[in-house]
Copies of this chain bind each other. A is one copy, B any other.
């Protein structure tokens, strides 16, 4: 039997486009001799559809897509994830299901049991868990169809769930497992995913055909990397990262371990780079925008964003605005200009001094006898934000936010100033990782002027200002932040690791008192296991470690 795994990039709620894409892949798979073509979890509606699931009309349209796919399932079977209605009056109104379509109709629907409700996932918000488990018989094979998380309660030491749907399916003695997933990217997640799938194969002594989403849905990035595993857990093939594609596997060849290509290399910084480029590209493409704009300061963060944007959208579509003030050093403008020239991006120089002066003129009588301070520093950052938004509005381009994860964490940024933008490109990349990313980008040639990477970081909002005046050294800061944010460690745990007590307490306090700023920032392309945004939900008005 030939099974085509189609890791596709769909668009949330875009039923017509998603259907057309699946019909096209179905025709292609059929032409290439596939017996089954497999699409990911909730492929009809995109993942995550979020509260659109509360609209009956949205559910109706998803059902219509499944029916149209069923009609196309002639001479080939289609396995596809979609929603289905719960016919019982009690419980949530929907199931997250996988459909087996063949002979022009729906042959089998299996619902998902384990509903991820953590981090970015909200599945219990919408779905009722499965209470029955079956298999489907097709071409003399018995197939267990599984949705994503249902394979994730195998081989864990601290399982999140009390039941294991895989065990229940095995009562029907399937010959193979097909898993349709929406498993988001994080730089250390692909390795974990393979371990979990291997544990399934080994436990049940069955091969697995696993298909994942690819592409970005706002902040959530899917890497694809669909996998075929032998019954002994050997990785037969791993499909491309960050690229829509389809591959066809012959089940006998898989069982005989013919053509084992094995796993792809997983280098953290390269994965982050490729994930972000895809994230930018899809954010613009799916919103119907082409052009980006950003403020280029001469620092490393905006330099990185410029490079990543140029790679995602083409240098022609990225416009850099240099906005020097009286506190900007000469090298800032020169470095920024050199970068724009290296990339081949349009750049404009728009000094902000006259704007700043206009603000201070009207504010002077009201600020009488007050010392200069934060308000004045923020005004500079905000004058830049407003100029960028004016360009954005005038030319129909989206402003890219250039804040990194370290400064977002501790609130080292100006709300409505440098925190402006429609998309946070590197908001899930710590400053120390920004340096790694810059060096990765420069590995073959000096794309980012070396001086941008080597000079000490500065906001340049007052004379001789450096980040190190207000913040601990980034290597220490980032290590503490990682332990608190990604690993949810307590202050005492982190101090016990050898970090300075004052540094730890101050850092955690800064994280917690700056929740109000993060609440109002753009969606952050998620590359780690714990990104700011929908996967980290904190109250603003709280008093904890603050």
Is A354 part of the contact surface with B, judged by Cβ < 8 Å? yes
Binding stretch for chain B, among A101-109, A183-191, A415-423, A429-437: A415-423
* Bound Cα distance from A54 to B484, whole angstroms: 11
Is A488 part of the contact surface with B, judged by Cβ < 8 Å? yes
Would B286 and A543 count as touching, CB distance under 8 A?
A: yes
Residue of A367, A387, A492, A544 with most partner-chain B CB within 10 A: A544
Shortest Cβ distance from A391 into B: residue: B366
1/0 per residue, CB under 8 A from B, across A17-34: the answer is 100000000000000000
Would A543 and B17 count as touching, CB distance under 8 A?
A: yes
Tell me the chain A residues, 336-357 only, with Cβ under 8 Å from chain B: 348, 350-352, 354-355, 357
Would B160 and A51 count as touching, CB distance under 8 A?
A: no
Is A382 part of the contact surface with B, judged by Cβ < 8 Å? yes
Binding stretch for chain B, among A173-181, A450-458, A462-470, A519-527: A519-527
Would B367 and A386 count as touching, CB distance under 8 A?
A: no
Is A394 part of the contact surface with B, judged by Cβ < 8 Å? yes
**Which residue from B124, B157, B386, B391 sits with its C-beta under 8 Å from A383?**
B386
Q: A17-B543, A490-B57, A542-B52 are in contact. Are A387 and B362 (CB under 8 A)?
A: yes
* Bound Cα distance from A387 to B370, whole angstroms: 16
* Bound Cα distance from A12 to B92, whole angstroms: 29
Tell me the chain A residues, 25-78 only, with Cβ under 8 Å from chain B: 46, 48-52, 54-58, 60
Tell me the chain A residues, 531-546 only, with Cβ under 8 Å from chain B: 534, 536-544, 546
Would B542 and A56 count as touching, CB distance under 8 A?
A: no
Is A265 part of the contact surface with B, judged by Cβ < 8 Å? no
Is A491 part of the contact surface with B, judged by Cβ < 8 Å? yes
Point out the residues of chain B lying under 8 angstroms from A117, CB to CB: 117, 122, 124-125
Shortest Cβ distance from A522 into B: residue: B520
**Which residue from B46, B366, B542 sits with its C-beta under 8 Å from A348?**
B366
Tell me the chain A residues, 351-390 only, with Cβ under 8 Å from chain B: 351-352, 354-355, 357-359, 361-363, 366-367, 370, 373-375, 378-379, 382-383, 385-387, 389-390
Tell me the chain A residues, 452-497 only, with Cβ under 8 Å from chain B: 488, 490-493
- Give the shortest distance, in Å, between A316 (CB) and chain B (any CB): 17
* Bound Cα distance from A349 to B116, whole angstroms: 53
Point out the residues of chain B lying under 8 angstroms from A415, CB to CB: 389
Shortest Cβ distance from A385 into B: residue: B416
Is A283 part of the contact surface with B, judged by Cβ < 8 Å? yes
Point out the residues of chain B lying under 8 angstroms from A516, CB to CB: 422
Residue of A46, A117, A282, A374 with most partner-chain B CB within 10 A: A117
Would A542 and B362 count as touching, CB distance under 8 A?
A: no
**Which residue from B115, B358, B491, B536 sits with its C-beta under 8 Å from A357?**
B358
Q: A379-B390, A537-B534, A544-B58 are in contact. Are A361 and B366 (CB under 8 A)?
A: no
Is A159 part of the contact surface with B, judged by Cβ < 8 Å? yes
* Bound Cα distance from A11 to B89, whole angstroms: 38
Would A287 and B361 count as touching, CB distance under 8 A?
A: no
Point out the residues of chain B lying under 8 angstroms from A348, CB to CB: 366
Is A200 part of the contact surface with B, judged by Cβ < 8 Å? no
Would B363 and A390 count as touching, CB distance under 8 A?
A: yes
Shortest Cβ distance from A118 into B: residue: B125
Would A543 and B161 count as touching, CB distance under 8 A?
A: no
Point out the residues of chain B lying under 8 angstroms from A352, CB to CB: 362
* Bound Cα distance from A382 to B382, whole angstroms: 9
Is A90 part of the contact surface with B, judged by Cβ < 8 Å? yes
Would A218 and B541 count as touching, CB distance under 8 A?
A: yes
Shortest Cβ distance from A93 into B: residue: B158
Would A350 and B362 count as touching, CB distance under 8 A?
A: yes
Is A217 part of the contact surface with B, judged by Cβ < 8 Å? yes
Point out the residues of chain B lying under 8 angstroms from A370, CB to CB: 394
* Bound Cα distance from A153 to B52, whole angstroms: 25
Is A14 part of the contact surface with B, judged by Cβ < 8 Å? yes
Tell me the chain A residues, 494-523 only, with Cβ under 8 Å from chain B: 516, 519-523
Is A329 part of the contact surface with B, judged by Cβ < 8 Å? no
Point out the residues of chain B lying under 8 angstroms from A13, CB to CB: 539, 542-544, 546
Q: A394-B375, A543-B17 are in contact. Are A389 and B363 (CB under 8 A)?
A: no
Inter-chain pairs besides A124-B124, A385-B416, 10 sampled, C-beta below 8 Å: A11-B542, A11-B543, A12-B539, A57-B492, A89-B159, A286-B543, A348-B366, A354-B361, A416-B416, A422-B516
A–B pairs, 8, beta carbons within 8 Å: A12-B539, A12-B543, A13-B539, A350-B366, A367-B394, A375-B394, A382-B386, A519-B523
Which residues in A have some Cβ–Cβ distance to B below 8 Å?
Answer: 11-14, 17, 46, 48-52, 54-58, 60, 89-92, 115, 117-118, 122, 124-125, 157-162, 216-218, 282-283, 286-287, 348, 350-352, 354-355, 357-359, 361-363, 366-367, 370, 373-375, 378-379, 382-383, 385-387, 389-391, 393-394, 415-416, 420, 422, 488, 490-493, 516, 519-523, 534, 536-544, 546
Closest 4 CB pairs of A and B: A13-B544, A57-B490, A358-B358, A375-B393
